[in-house]
Structure 1
Amino acid sequence: MSDKPSDQPSVSDEDWAAFVENAREQGLGTEEQSKALRKVRPKKAPKAPKAPKAPKAPKRQEPAGWRTGPAWQEMNGRAARRRKVKGVVGIALAAALALVAVRPQLFTGLLPDDVTSALPSSWSDRPEDTTPLAAETAAPTSAPDDVDPDRPTLKEPFRGSPAVRWADGAAGIEPPAAKATGWMSKKQVEDALKRSKDFLVASNLDPAVLKGGKPSAALRLIDPKFGNLRSEVEQALARPTEEHDPTIVFSRFDPAEARVVGSVVKIRGRMSVEKGTGKDSGQVLVHTDYTFVYPVVKARPGADAVERSIVRRVLTFSFVDPARFRATPGKLGVSDWDAQFGNNDCAHPGNGFLRPTFDEDRAALPQPSRSGAAVDPYDRSKTLGELPRGCGTVTRS
């Protein structure tokens, strides 16, 4: 007789049950039962192949813009370049992405109970790494890691932002060690670095300037003999336009629209010195590249919805040899500047102020045409020249 299952005799269910009961009465162990059963109980015949399922109906295509299109986005930023590149350029915030990333609790009500019960009771329960970063000495190789998407608050305005690990205020502007360069001695380079830092502090951190005031301390540092720079900046402050906008150099908020939360502005960047060559011969150049993160709320009393404006500034300060050029001791020139703005309304440029947008008024903002691609405003691994220009979108704020 063949050992194949197909040759084994068929056993009825009643006979099979009796066989099992008899095996138990004889005290056969589990393994012995299994061996005995395998000799008697035939293997199941292979199942017949299932009939093919009817093809599914094609999924309904959503209309363009549904949940992901322009209706869920706002254009609220710009970047600008002066001198070498003219024109208004910018960054804007993708509202749909921001709502998911920054306030996921708004969406938990749409999830099944067994899913939402597994979520933390509060996103603030997630531990956040606040260990200060070491000073930046060279361009990073990539963007900062993502941070848990906690909503910023008045008490913790940098929560959920890579800037939570950045330096506070002026401490984030750390000049390199001075050494003799070009026509300058070590002591003169040290003084040039200090003046460069003083200008950045006066134009981006001065509380009075942030409230919309005139950056008088910064203006006093500009050498009036350095071309027409000072008069041009004064004119832009007095009569700002899209072409001559003082926010390219100064961080100022309209006190009627927004105010900075607390006294801390987060900063990340670096500074370097080099001897000028070619057209810059006879100069010592101080290159600066810093990103400033400002937590802001609406100007009205009791406002507590915190947003962040992110400004990256790249400026080159020039210190000329007084033996070859006209110069004022203790002053500096600015030979080149460039800027990029995140969460800054690019639909209304040229009023002389940074204009952050908030959830409550994004839906009402006009939608200017976008020419820039999505940009991470915290990514310092690229130069501003490598980034797209024009109104675009930012991936986070």
Structure 2
Amino acid sequence: MDEHNIENHPDLMDPDWQRHAEKEAWTGLRRQRRRARRRRWLTISAAVVIVVAAAGFYLWKQGTRPEEIAGNTPAVPAATTTAPAPTDLPDSAHVDLTRPFDKTPAQNWPDGIAGLTIPAPAKVGSFSAKQVGDAQAQVKHAVEVAQFDKDVLEGHHPDGYIGLFAPNARAELQANPPGYVIYLEDGYRLLPVQPRMTGTMTVRPGEAGELYLHVSYVVAYAFDPGSRVVEGPADLDPFVRADADYVVRSGSSWDKGDRGLWLSKSDGYFTSVSCDARKNNRLGPAFADTDFTGSSLTPDPGQFDPGKPVPVKGNCKE
């Protein structure tokens, strides 16, 4: 065999070896990015210490205490406008655990289900405005339970969600609950702040006696790091993107067991999560993994903007 044609060596062509090599390369990339982030953080921290020390020395030489200067400086009113939120998660930034969504795309999102924008009820097809309003309330409640209900998040009990659907729809949901029904990873808890959300609901007619309600939204959660060192919000703030079509069926053209709420189709996408937890359909923070990079390896505006198409590749190598 030509020693210069090493890429065609039989050992290198073995599929098991290739999968192993790909996994090792992926893990190495995550380690390298984490180390690079730590070096940047240490460099910035050292620079801040030097600047503060130099300022203190200057004030001491001048014989003026810092508080004397502060006392002669007129107070500046606090800003009344909200700063624009970033469009991606920073690699490294200070994290205030009382305001864990600062410096993230969720910085200015509303708390909980208030972030889902719902149009005013109006007649759609054969559905009256009141029927449309009732259907919107059903879907809103289903989303709220799937994303925020404590019994679902911590207890991993989907019954409260599944019970909202038509009798004939429940068995399939029990066997295959949608991925965006959130179960928190065991051993990890959220900080005492509400998750934040942004998204919209739209309504359109379907076949006779059907009303389609499409929801597209993103939810940000904030995990308590405890004594763990975190380098930025990406380490503890996972984001869940969901797109789903709900269907409300009513009228005599449908069997009694078919009348009510159905889930037509759904897509989910996860950013800055524990890859180990996702293997078991659980949601955990990135810091739960031994090797993690925080933000997604494939930045995409659809991660944080429900108005954009749902991305297809997350920050976990499947």
Fold similarity call, TM over 0.5: yes
The counterpart of 1:165, out of the listed 108, 116, 128, is: 108
Distance 1:111 1:294 in 2: 32
Runs (5+) with no aligned partner, structure 1: 1-67, 75-93, 120-126, 134-142, 237-245, 365-369
Assess if the C-alpha contact under 8 Å between 2:246 and 2:262 holds in 1: yes
- Distance in 2 (CA, whole Å) between partners of 1:204 and 1:157 is 18
Q: Secondary structure at the match of 1:296?
A: coil
For the aligned residue pairs, the C-alpha RMSD in angstroms reads 4.0
Deviation at 1:222, TM superposition (A): 1.2
Moved more, 349-358 or 186-195: 349-358
Which amino acid is the alignment partner of residue 299 of structure 2?
A: A
Displacement after TM superposition at 1:151 (Å): 2.5
Say whether residues 1:318 and 2:269 are aligned partners.
no
Match of 1:248 among 174, 179, 202: 179
Letter of the 2:159 partner, please give it.
S
2:211 aligned with 1:284, yes or no? yes
* Deviation, structure 1 residue 224: 1.9
2: CA distance, partners of 1:263 / 1:110:
32
1:205-260 deviation per Cα after TM superposition (whole angstroms, max 9, x unaligned): 1122221430322111011223xxx2233234xxxxxxxxx46131110232x111
- Picking from 126, 130, 133, the partner of 1:190 is 133
Tell me if structure 2 keeps the 8 A contact 1:297–1:304: no
Q: 1:210 corresponds to which letter in structure 2?
A: L
Contact 1:203/1:249, CA 8 A, preserved across alignment? yes
TM-score by length of 1: 0.56
DSSP 3-state at the match of 1:337? strand
How do 1:271-310 and structure 2 match up within 5 A?
Answer: 271-276=201-206, 280-298=207-225, 305=230, 307-310=236-239
2:300 aligned with 1:375:
yes
| Inter-CA distance 179–210: structure 2 relative to 1 (3 Å threshold) | same
- Counterpart of 1:106 (choices 35, 42, 63) is 42
Q: CA deviation at 1:112?
A: 9.9
Q: Is the 8 A contact 1:203 1:218 kept in 2?
A: yes
Where 2:222 maps in the other structure, the secondary structure is: strand
Q: Report how many aligned residue pairs link the two structures.
A: 263
Cross-structure match for 1:259: 189
| TM-score, reference length from structure 2 | 0.68
Q: Which runs of 5 or more residues in structure 2 are unaligned?
A: 1-24, 56-77
Amino acid paired to 2:309? T
> Deviations for 1:277-300, whole angstroms, at most 9, x for unmatched residues?
xxx4541100000100000135xx
Q: Distance in 2 between matches of 1:346 and 1:283?
A: 38
Letter in 1 for 2:82: T
**What secondary structure, in the 3-state scheme, does the structure 2 residue paired with 1:167 have?**
coil
Cα deviation, residue 391, structure 1: 5.2
Counterpart in the other structure of 1:131: 82
Of the structure 1 ranges 185-194 and 314-323, higher mean CA displacement relative to structure 2 is found in 314-323
Letter in 1 for 2:184: F
Conservation of the 8 A alpha-carbon contact between 1:309 and 1:356: yes
Query: 1: distance between equivalents of 2:274 and 2:108?
Result: 26
- The structure, 1 or 2, with the larger RCO (C-alpha pairs under 8 Å, 6+ apart) is 1
What residue number does 1:46 align with?
Answer: none
CA distance in 1 between counterparts of 2:214 and 2:250 reads 17
1:314 touches 1:337 (CA, 8 Å); kept in 2? yes
8 Å Cα contact 2:180-2:240 kept in structure 1: no
Match for residue 26 of structure 1? none
- Answer yes or no: is 1:235 the counterpart of 2:160: no
Q: Bigger radius of gyration, 1 or 2?
A: 1
CA deviation after TM superposition for structure 1 residue 204, in Å = 0.4
